[in-house]
Amino acid sequence: MSLDFLVVLGQWPMLLRGLALTALLTAVAAPVGTCLGIACAWSRVHGPAWLRAMVGAYVELVRNTPFIIQLFFIFFGLPAMGVKLSPETASMLAMVLNLGAYACEIVRAGIESTHPGQIEAAQSLALNRWQIFTRVVLPPSLERVWPALVSQIIIVMLGSAVCGQISTEEISYAANLISSRTFRSMESYILVTLVYLGLAVLVRQVLHWAGPRFIFGP
């Protein structure tokens, strides 16, 4: 057995395009999914009963089914209902819905661990419910759960490898294509796996750097 990475590296334009799409999918899904998660967490803690039930059902459904089934359902199943999506849109939607459900539970844990005295203090300053949630409860909650949230974003990014199965041209799709073009499957998968590992480390660093500066601020 011998490995020849040069043949695979020769296909760099395709690798680069795949990497760009993976990065784009993550860059959109991470903030949108997190916002969806925060909104869902708010509804599960403070929302009216019917909304709580609906969000609860959504969260449990997503958390207890595999991502690939969610993706297939959105891409192959929804057209039967008249909703036709491009592979990229379907991948994006699946990633956002997936992250939203997990982020909901993570953020909710943060919100529920808020000290009641904090809320009383905010009420005594005559802040309204919206101000209390966005200024007093949310930022420290996010700070507490930030490591878990970052891990979840990375899990969703790695999960996006599955999107290649509906011919979204992200980097694992590029790996498949290169392996069938050059007959160098082992090399292309090793290379792309290393790219994912690098991306995971990079995303973790960036989010740990950005979190305290821009999201729950000093």
Partner 1 sequence: MVDFSLWDIVRNLLLALRWTVALSLIAFAGGGIVGLVLLIARLSKLPGAARCVALYVQVFQGTPLLMQLFLTYFGLSMLGVNTSALVAASVCLTLYASAYLTEIWRGCVLSIPRGQWEAAASLAMNFGEQLRHIVLPQAARIAIGPTVGFLIQIIKGTALASVIGFVEITKAGQMIANATYEPFLVYGCVGLMYFALCFPLSVWSRNLERKLSPRR
Greatest alpha-carbon span in the chain: 73
Using CB under 8 A, which of 39, 54, 68, 109 touches partner 1?
68
163 closest CA partner among 67, 97, 61: 67
Query: Among the candidate windows 7-15, 59-67, 119-127, 131-139, which touches partner 1 by CB under 8 A?
Result: 59-67
Is 53 a binding residue for partner 1 by CB under 8 A? The answer is: no
Is 109 a binding residue for partner 1 by CB under 8 A? The answer is: no
**Rounded-to-integer distance, Cα 12 and Cα 34, Å:** 32
Amino acid at 90: A
Using CB under 8 A, which of 21, 175, 178, 207 touches partner 1?
175
Smallest gap from Cβ 131 to partner 1, in A, equals 32
Is 81 a binding residue for partner 1 by CB under 8 A? The answer is: yes
In the complex with partner 1, the residue whose CB is nearer, 110 or 164, is 164
Phi (first) and psi of residue 65, to 5 degrees: -130, 155
Residues 117-156 that bind partner 1 (CB under 8 A): 154
Helices in the chain by DSSP H: which ranges? 5-9, 12-46, 49-63, 67-72, 87-112, 116-124, 129-131, 138-159, 171-182, 185-210
**Rounded-to-integer distance, Cα 41 and Cα 31, Å:** 15
Smallest gap from Cβ 215 to partner 1, in A, equals 23
Q: Interface with partner 1 by CB under 8 A: which residues?
A: 1, 60-61, 63-70, 72-73, 76-81, 154, 158-162, 164-165, 172, 175, 185-186, 189-190, 192-193, 196-197, 200-201
